[in-house]
Amino acid sequence: MSKSYAILPCNGLDKCAGCISKEVALKLSETSESKIICPVLYRIADARYTKIAQEKPLLVIDGCATRCASKLAIEKGLKISEKINISDEAKANNITITNGLRLGEIELTLVNIINKKLTKEEEKVESESSFALPENIEYNLYKKDKFTFRTPKEGYYFNENDCWAYVIGNKARIGVGDFVQQSLSDIMFFTPPTVGSELEQFDEAGNVESGKAVFEVICPVSGTITAINEKLLEAPELINQSPYENGWIAEIELSDFDNDKDFLLDFTKYFDVLKRKVDEFHV
């Protein structure tokens, strides 16, 4: 039996991707027991959809990187079970969406692809972790007030967004650094990247959220996500406790590390960046 959802599409009229989000929602409601939540009505009169939102897992369909539907869901305190981003799906399927707002054959093909993806019997995508945790990591410390910021001295690459990659062969493990977890304080939510999705360097690879803020994980490397840290789904606080080890976020099969490396920082360079950020920030 196929899944049924409470669907919250962005339904945007700024780009065709918003129109596609509406079409995906309509098709899904026709091919399954799913129900649509109108984002416009929901914003001003949410009581109408309370029952649907409670009874069914929530599927959010964003048109583009602005993620209006996701933001509305968060604003209303809804737990998001699944997310689709139309622009990302188009890219992943090598489809170029029209600049207009009318859906043509190409856009309708994309709608069908996404609908099939959502309605097929759950095939467990192998989420295999193939890493052994590095042993005896040596950290350099930087202290401010009572807070200590740790940075591993070897084996880790960083981007300026304080995300790291640990590379072994043609695979890498990614995560967020100590600065992120200290700034966020208690991390309560973890939205992982999708296993099987292809990311360019600096694409978003999920996010982590505390009571203070949502932090988008900016992927330090290009490649295909092969595994996520499923422990974080139940215990996102692992990121606070061990951001470089047990709090890893995802594993990725690298596609272009030789080029990606040019835009990454080793420990020495990143440590300087970290010190500057810590000195400027009141934790």
Partner 1 sequence: MANSNVGVLACSGEECLGGTISRLATRKMLEELRIDETVTLCLPLYLAGGEEERAFAKEYPVITVDGCSKCCAKRATEKYSGAVSATVIVSDILGEDVALSKTVSSKDLTEEHYKMVDKVAEEICKHFDRIISE
Partner 2 sequence: MSKIKVVACSGIGKVYGLMAREAVLKITNESMPNETETVCLGHIVTGDAEAKEKIEGVSCITIDGCPALCAAKNVELAGGIVKVKYRTVDEMKTHRGVNAGTGTDLSEDGWKIVDELCDKVCVKINEILKEEK
Residue in 71, 76, 91, 144 binding partner 1, rule: CB under 8 A? 144
Specify the stretch interacting with partner 1 by CB under 8 A; choose among 15-23, 39-47, 139-147, 211-219: 139-147
- If binding is defined by CB under 8 A, does position 277 make contact with partner 1? no
C-alpha to C-alpha distance for 81 and 64, rounded to whole angstroms: 18
Residues forming the site for partner 2 (CB under 8 A): 74-79, 185-186, 188-189, 209, 211, 237, 240-241
Q: Which two tokens stand for residue 243?
A: 């951001």
Residue 173 bridge partners (DSSP): 166, 251
> Which positions from 148 through 167 interact with partner 1, judged by CB under 8 A?
148
Contacts of 2 (CB under 8 A, 6+ apart): 31, 32, 118, 119, 120, 121
* Residue 137 interacts with which of partner 1, partner 2, none, CB < 5 to 8 Å by class: none
> Cβ 240 to partner 1, closest distance in Å?
12
Residue 32 · residue 45 · CB < 8 Å = no
Is the Cβ of residue 100 or residue 211 nearer to partner 2 in the bound state? 211
Is position 146 an interface residue for partner 1 (rule: CB under 8 A)? yes
Structure tokens at 58: 């929530």
| Total chain residues near partner 1 (CB under 8 A) | 8
DSSP code, position 177: -
| Interface segment toward partner 1; rule CB under 8 A; list 37-45, 114-122, 142-150, 263-271 | 142-150
Interface residue with partner 1 among 48, 75, 147, 186 (CB under 8 A) is 147
End-to-end CA distance of the chain: 49
Tell me the closest approach of the beta carbon of residue 143 to partner 2, in angstroms.
17
Residue 147 or residue 263: which is nearer to partner 1 going by CB?
Answer: 147
- Is the Cβ–Cβ distance between 55 and 6 less than 8 Å? yes
Rounded to whole angstroms, the Cα distance separating 92 from 179 reads 32
Which of partner 1, partner 2, none does residue 189 bind to, with CB < 5 to 8 Å depending on kind? partner 2
Distance of closest approach, residue 186 Cβ to partner 1, in angstroms: 13
Read off φ and ψ for residue 129, nearest 5 degrees. Answer: -90, 125
Q: Are residues 248 and 174 in contact, defined by beta-carbon separation less than 8 angstroms?
A: yes
Structure tokens at 230: 């499923």
Q: Is residue 280 a contact residue for partner 1 (CB under 8 A)?
A: no
Q: Which is nearer to partner 2, 13 or 213 (CB)?
A: 213
71 or 275: CB nearest partner 1: 275
4 CB-contact burial (10 Å; exposed 0-12 / middle 13-18 / buried 19+) = middle
Q: Which residues bind partner 1 (CB under 8 A)?
A: 143-148, 279, 282
